[in-house]
Amino acid sequence: MKVTLCILSTIAAVAYATASTATQGHVYNSYTASSFPIRSSDIQFRSQSNKDAYYSSLKTFNNLITPKEFPDTALPFAVVTPSSANNRGIGRAVKIARDYGFRVSARSGGYQSGYSSNMAAIDSSSQDFVLIDLQKLNQVTINPKDLTATAEPGATGEDLYSQTIKYGLHFPGPHTSRVTLGGFLLQGGMGIGSRYHGAGVDNVLGFDIVLASGRTVYADAKTNSDLFYGVRGGGQFFGVVTKFYLKLTPIVQKPTLVPTYNDTSVKIDQIFAIFDRPQANDLLSFYSGFDPVAPKALENKIIFTVDATTNDKQYLFASVSSVPFNSSSEVTTAQSEITQWYQTVPTNYASSDPTTYAGATRGGDSSWADSDLSYYAEDVWFPVPLDPRLLQVLIDQWDKVPSNLSTMALNTGTWDAPTRSALGYDRSYSFCVYSTWKRNGDPSWDAKNKAWADETLAAIKPWTLGYYANELRPKQLQDQDYWRKCYEENTFDRLSIIKNRWDPSNVFKSLV
């Protein structure tokens, strides 16, 4: 379930360099000309009289701050939302923006990004910019013979899963099915089964990307290989990706060439149990010993949650197989070990029954079902094995959580990445702090929830290897290490070289 997250609620005042009126007029005239290859109805302008339509085009999933509350630096001159795949139109929009000194940012759905994709709000530079919104580019095509798929960036996990499962195939996509693939993949894509299959980016065979020149190029391991490396984990810095070419893997023992299966007919090996607060130490201790030696085909995770009725702290443990049902003796043996262990401690609920593909791919959706939730979160990498002192810190911090809507998630990261990408941090744990609440008009309530997340992330910093670029707290202006901390040192240096080659004018989001 991993996409870009977190929004600023306040931003330090800066001198905002909007383009001159004359320059804005040139761009406006270019975008509204009859020859422009994107319909005028697909473009909203900051200066237009219908402000509601403009603000509506900026709406995101996260309710921490609404578009009308955005600072000026987060309001793009124009929002271009192509209604169908149109690289020529997107290329023209990018080139015009660049030629007139505007910068360009892109988003694929605004799942939780707030205005993180509204680049001027979080870059060290405060230039005017154009936002390319790709949410309507949501087509998915499956080639069951070649075990591949093509997907547009606005397609959601659900759009992809609903098509792949027809043939008994799987892609390690987002844990929350409503997340769009563009942001998920470009920042690495820690997905369902990534411990076994690799991250989402490890299963990207190639992509089409619109460069600052407006030209579209293709990249894969042999063609424009440096761009292929950099985009997979650092894609937001180089251009606008309009299509992904994906590798699929069988999730049934007999995949087919014609639609045969559905997400409720395909079974998945799973162990699921809920533990109350008194068993927290026992669970985390077992997990820290069991997981490092468990089969790679098992994705084992712990979700820190709160019982909505009693407000009691709880710990959800799930062990989900990434290989076809009942096909691995290693999986069977390991999950039997889990069952034997949880029978020795009190549980609130426990089951060794299999789940369905729908359960595996939509299991986390309910936590994100409300449209008025506010999120303030960050995802970090922990070393293997887990330090017992760290586990106690996690328990202590969870005891302090103010909102019963918040969660924390401890999950196996990519164990042995099958390809080299900008994501990095192999053999590590992914840990995310999701401070989640509903705004009630009281600023102190918002501040309390953000303060808890800040305190928790400070408490776990001694064990933090790095940060997952898909889920970060807001960037403060002039923060030179915001992106650097998401990449291993050699990776960041390599990304800088790739940036200088493919976007030397820094049209897209900055690395610093």
Residue 64 dihedral angles phi and psi, to the nearest 5°? -60, -35
**Alpha carbon distance 18, 24 (integer Å):** 9
With H, G, I as helix, E, B as strand and everything else as coil, classify residue 59: coil
pTM of the model: 0.93
> Given this model, what pLDDT does residue 112 score?
54
> Given this model, what pLDDT does residue 4 score?
32
User: How confident is the model over 378-422, as pLDDT tens digits?
Assistant: 999 999 999 999 999 999 999 999 999 999 999 986 678 899 999
> Given this model, what pLDDT does residue 46 score?
94
**Alpha carbon distance 394, 392 (integer Å):** 5
**Alpha carbon distance 193, 488 (integer Å):** 23
Say which residue the tokens 């900055």 belong to. 510
**Alpha carbon distance 231, 219 (integer Å):** 9
Residue-wise pLDDT tens for the chain (512 aa)?
333 333 233 222 233 456 788 889 999 999 999 999 999 999 999 999 999 999 999 888 788 888 888 878 888 999 999 988 888 999 999 999 999 999 999 998 765 544 556 655 556 556 889 999 999 999 999 999 999 999 999 999 999 999 999 999 999 999 989 899 998 999 889 999 999 999 999 999 999 999 999 999 999 999 999 999 999 998 889 999 999 999 999 999 999 999 999 999 999 999 999 999 999 999 999 999 999 999 999 999 999 999 989 999 999 999 999 999 999 999 999 999 999 999 999 999 999 999 999 999 998 887 777 878 998 989 999 999 999 999 999 999 999 999 999 999 999 866 788 999 999 998 899 999 999 999 999 999 999 999 999 999 999 999 999 999 888 877 766 677 888 899 999 999 999 999 999 999 999 988 87
Q: Which of 412, 396, 389, 410 is nearest to 456 (CA)?
A: 396
> Given this model, what pLDDT does residue 299 score?
95
> Given this model, what pLDDT does residue 120 score?
54
> What are the strands, taking DSSP E only, across 83-171?
103-107, 129-133, 140-143, 148-151, 169-170
